[in-house]
Structure 1
């Protein structure tokens, strides 16, 4: 049997800080996401510790009685500790230069390594089909790790929430987007 990860980007949130909650719309999205994910057999939930990620998966966790495990390595990437009015352009540059690093932040390569480490540990576990909840930038970097054509433009196309299915078969990783905005 092939192993599967349902990679989830959090629902609509009030902001970027770790303590940002879901919006009213985000809470509704989390309920819809719980219904959607219930279509799949899941044995484990691993989430970013950020409140918006935990709140995203909480309805599914309650519905399935699967405990939410948090992992700091799934936290949002810090682009810089300095305010960057042109952050969008700066972020775009980090997709073409994976080693580019701004003051106090982490490079795309460093952030990618974090989430790849979580996935590799999961692959080595007994789990067969799990949900991993993270943030858009980290999600895009993981997908880029497995397919380098997934870059900045694809990151821009992600929705809140979003779900990709990663499946591991014969030492190969494949993925597809399974979430539709109006599920």
Structure 2
């Protein structure tokens, strides 16, 4: 049995144009410490992450304490919703996001569909499952891509699931022979 701890990053200040580099808010930094506490006793053997700073920073203290290197996978980055020059209003974002779950091939101009994003992320997840077979892995991730990876195993993980997740959040996925056996949400104080 391989266990993947999907760790959705802690709260990050949203600033236009800084997807890759934005860090954590003061509250996000406190919550990242709670992520460390929640995972300290889980027997983590490896840590992998999206290349985005907020995902890495959420797991950085855990990696330091456990003396583990965070292995970065570019294809674990968050879904590209639209091209850089495409404006999405606050009122238009949630309907577009919801549509992307009901129509997996839908994408905004310059953006990536859920299907495209899921294919690239699951390819990395399959590699991780092989490389770390029988181990416990913390995976630093984002809401949409986390949902899509979980959806690959179980279609019940969709838009409604995504909208109820928190920042941060931890889902413990127990996977055997590339089949999802159990999902448990870990409590963060």
TM-score by length of 1: 0.94
On the 8 A contact 2:2/2:132 being kept in 1, the answer is no
- Tell me by how many angstroms 1:129 deviates: 1.2
What's the counterpart of residue 93 of structure 2?
87
- Structure 1 pair 126/176, CA: closer, same or farther in 2 (3 Å)? closer
1:132-166 C-alpha deviation (Å, 9 max, x unpaired): 11100001111111111111111000001111111
On the 8 A contact 1:15/1:21 being kept in 2, the answer is no
Which 5+ residue runs of structure 2 have no aligned equivalent?
none
What's the counterpart of residue 55 of structure 1?
57
1:49-76 C-alpha deviation (Å, 9 max, x unpaired): 1111111000101110101111111111
What's the counterpart of residue 4 of structure 2?
5
- Tell me by how many angstroms 1:170 deviates: 4.5
Q: Distance in 2 between matches of 1:172 and 1:139?
A: 16
What's the counterpart of residue 34 of structure 2?
32
- Tell me by how many angstroms 1:126 deviates: 4.0
1:101-116 maps to which residues of 2 (within 5 A)?
Answer: 101-116=107-122
What's the counterpart of residue 102 of structure 2?
96
Residue aligned with 2:131, SS: coil
1:99-138 maps to which residues of 2 (within 5 A)?
Answer: 99-127=105-133, 128-138=135-145
What's the counterpart of residue 180 of structure 1?
187
> Larger deviation: 122-131 or 4-13?
122-131
On the 8 A contact 2:13/2:23 being kept in 1, the answer is yes
How many residues were matched structurally?
A: 181
On the 8 A contact 1:14/1:23 being kept in 2, the answer is yes
1:164-175 maps to which residues of 2 (within 5 A)?
Answer: 164-175=171-182
Residue aligned with 1:124, SS: helix
> Equivalent of 1:45, from 41, 44, 47?
47
**RMSD of aligned alpha carbons:** 1.3
> Equivalent of 1:140, from 120, 129, 147?
147
Which 5+ residue runs of structure 1 have no aligned equivalent?
none
1:74-124 C-alpha deviation (Å, 9 max, x unpaired): 111111111111011111100001011211110001111121111100121
